[in-house]
Chains A and B, each alone.
Chain A
Amino acid sequence: MSIDEKTVAKVAKLARIALPEERLAPMTHELNGILNWIEQLQEVDVEGVEAMASSVHAALPLRKDELKTDETGGGRPEEVVANAPRTEDHFFVVPKVVE
């Protein structure tokens, strides 16, 4: 399966990456180089094989649904927004999205 420029443009849109017109052809060529090489996986018989998402077999651990005061916990709005390019009070500021 090879990928054409139209599909690359669509994928770039899905990935939210602005791809300038002059990059479209070279990027398509580069991606096809990778995809053609990956193609060899079609040779492998995967009938009845279970898909593997992780090498960890342990059950996902659960914790109590409560606010923690450690670094993964809430109650730290200043730190959450500290690195944002634009903020107001404890909010991230983005361009207007609702008319």
Chain B
Amino acid sequence: MSDPTDLSLAQLRDALAAKDVSSAEATDAYLSKIEGASALNAYVRVEGDKAREAAKASDDRRAKGEAGPLEGVPLGIKDLFCTKGIPSTAASRILEGFTPPYESTVTSNLLRDGAVFLGKLNMDEFAMGSSNETSAFGPVINPWRKSGSNATHIGADGKVEGGLTPGGSSGGSSSAVAAHLCAAATATDTGGSIRQPASLTATVGVKPTYGRCSRWGIVAFASSLDQAGPIARDVRDAAIMLRSMAGHDPKDSTSIDRPVPDYEAALGQGVKGLKVGVPKEYRLDGMPSEIEALWQQGIDWMRDAGAEVVEISLPLTKYALPVYYIVAPAEASSNLARYDGVKYGLRVEDPDIQTMYAKTRAAGFGQEVQRRILIGTYVLSAGYYDAYYLRAQKVRKKIADEMNEAFGSVDLMLTPSTPSAAFGLGEKSSDPVEMYLNDVFTVTANLAGIPGVSVPAGIDAQGLPLGLQLLGRPFDEETLLRGAKAIEDAAGFTARPEKWW
């Protein structure tokens, strides 16, 4: 058997079923690969012993004929998911030492289907960020690097120099999947945190419809926007992951009780006869010509595959990000009120309880999280609530209506995933708003609650990957993934980052 980490999730699943490889062998192969990739900083915690035990138990189940759909497949889990008996920190100092006594519903579903967890993946603190630089564990490095002399490399002191971001907030997930440090990973998307990192690392990232995956046991950021989904090597792998992750959960009141289709089975249906909308407002001033060209290429691919492509108009597009930066911080300021040094995590002692709260939160939250809590507190405070928060909620309604109306005449929308390829660490961290603009193409899907996917589609002149995004109707992830498969087939994307770490 060749290296099992080279296999896609679907191939590994089939190899495990054919007993060409055992879960124990695959898990060991991944664990040694992770050990050799510490420079990427993709994992915040590797659970080698637990993973080996789980792999052995999985092999035993298979021997007894009790194999689940993901039986024995080693996965990486974003540290936003609570995992029973395994510390879960949301990459924040304030959750230092927190070990959940329960398992999130999404990870429970994966365990039910036989998956093996390798460890917890790095991310932006509380999923707030687009570059993974806000993590208390330090930034994740993108395995992709620019061609030429300024390429990412390990310096004389053993540290990474010239590193590029793998995107965020699910940067550990995207980096680990791109570097083959897991067969696939869980991720979450509040404004683009699955699709933007997927685009920057040539991986496939699916943000399902709001309500498709349970939020129970996932550390909350902005509850009306957060949604879990997979980052995987290809569309088939993402489809397999999504089927296991999704499903109704009585413990999440916003989880929707609808049957979960076999997404993998839908992939072969193609896009013939589908109508694909191209929103003209997504053509931004100053957008790199390569992204513009790739988008046109995507339009041609869809046409060649038999879809009808039409231009559509979404005039409110430019207001989506400003709405998001009121709604998300408002919800975050409320959700993060629970971190007070009393119930779990960090506490900075003081004889006065109010001072204890304030000192604990100042020491435990990083700068970006503090900024967002303050913005959220401000827009919810007396005197500003109507002007900011209520107005943002109304504009959100108009944006969602505009989106849903457009879906009355098209089946899918095709856009770029991101306004640029991977950028250098530190390049955008001085200006919060410049960083926020990373999510300009992705955030509308969160406001409207619709599903979206980023698919690797091309390579820019510097050798960095670029993705295309498809958006779909609520709960129609099947059509979304059919479209993604059509792009994947047409793009024939096979490039891989060469190992420098």
| Chain A contact residues, CB within 8 Å of chain B | 1, 3, 7-8, 11-20, 27, 30-31, 33-35, 37-38, 40-42, 44, 46, 49-56, 58, 60-61, 63, 70-72, 76, 79, 82-86, 92, 94-97
Contact = CB atoms under 8 A, between A and B. Distances in A.
Q: DSSP class of B's interface residues: helix, strand, loop or mixed?
A: helix
A38 B357 CA distance: 30
A95 B353 contact: yes
Interface stretch (B22-30, B170-178, B367-375, B418-426): B367-375
A54 B224 contact: yes
A48 to B, nearest CB: 9
Interface string B350-385: 111111111101100100001101110110010010
Contacts of A54: 210, 224, 254, 449
Given A85-B347, A92-B343, A44 B395 contact: yes
B394 A50 contact: yes
A11 B379 CA distance: 10
B394 A16 contact: no
Contacts of B359: 18
Nearest to B97: A83
A90 to B, nearest CB: 13
B56 to A, nearest CB: 26
Interface string B100-128: 01110000000000000000000000000
A51 B395 CA distance: 8
A11 B333 CA distance: 11
A83 B396 contact: no
Contact of A83 (B256, B345, B355, B381): B345
Q: How large is the interface on B (under 10, 10 to 19, 20 to 34, 35 or more residues)?
A: 35 or more
Contacts of B268: none
B301 interface: no
Given A15-B373, A16-B340, A34-B375, A60 B253 contact: yes
Given A56-B210, A58-B256, A95-B351, A8 B374 contact: yes
A13 B318 CA distance: 33
A9 B375 CA distance: 12
Question: Of A38, A54, A56, A83, which is in contact with the most chain B CB atoms at under 10 Å from its CB?
Answer: A38
Contact of A30 (B103, B371, B450): B371
Interface stretch (B148-156, B237-245, B321-329): B321-329
Given A50-B397, A53-B393, A38 B326 contact: yes
A82 B101 contact: yes
Given A38-B325, A46-B391, A92-B342, 17 more contacts: A11-B378, A16-B340, A17-B358, A17-B361, A17-B365, A19-B362, A38-B322, A46-B398, A52-B393, A55-B224, A55-B448, A61-B253, A71-B103, A79-B102, A83-B101, A95-B356, A96-B351
Given A52-B400, A63-B250, A17 B370 contact: yes
A18 B398 contact: no
Contacts of A55: 210-211, 224, 400, 447-450, 474
B432 interface: yes
A34 B325 contact: yes
29 contacts: A1-B387, A11-B377, A11-B378, A14-B377, A15-B361, A15-B374, A16-B340, A17-B370, A17-B373, A18-B361, A31-B375, A33-B431, A33-B433, A37-B325, A38-B326, A41-B326, A46-B391, A51-B393, A52-B396, A55-B449, A55-B450, A79-B102, A82-B101, A83-B98, A83-B99, A83-B345, A85-B347, A92-B342, A96-B351
Interface in B306-329: 316, 318-319, 322-323, 325-326
Nearest to A43: B319
Nearest to B376: A15
B258 to A, nearest CB: 10
B501 interface: no
B391 A41 contact: yes
Interface in B83-99: 97-99
A31 B374 contact: yes
A21 B387 CA distance: 29
Contacts of A44: 316, 319, 391, 394-395, 398
Contact of B342 (A35, A76, A85): A85
